[in-house]
Amino acid sequence: MVAVAVAVADILERRLENLLTYRKHRITNAATEGLTAKVQARKAAARGFRNFANYRTRILFFCGKLSLYPQ
């Protein structure tokens, strides 16, 4: 049990600067990580696209940045 507490203390000590920064600014990169995961999923499913334009259209469509209405 003591070894676990020492390991946790070591982890907290190594991450102290990051923890204090989060407490001060309350910002994480979770949204960016989520978007990256969506793009990676589309990339895995888009192996058959012949050109980059079709791949880009698929990513924009599924990530919500593509308008389907004519302008």
The DSSP secondary-structure symbol of 40 reads: H
- Provide the pLDDT for residue 66: 67
Residues in the chain: 71
- Provide the pLDDT for residue 71: 66
Closest to 37 (Cα-Cα) out of 57, 67, 63: 63
Instruction: Give the side-chain half-sphere CA count within 13 A for 45.
Output: 11
Each residue's pLDDT expressed in tens, for the chain with a length of 71 residues: 899 999 999 999 999 999 999 999 998 888 899 989 988 888 887 777 788 888 888 788 778 766 777 76
Quote the distance between the C-alpha of residue 24 and its chain's center: 22
| Domain residue ranges in the chain | 2-62
User: And the tokens for 45?
Assistant: 């499913």
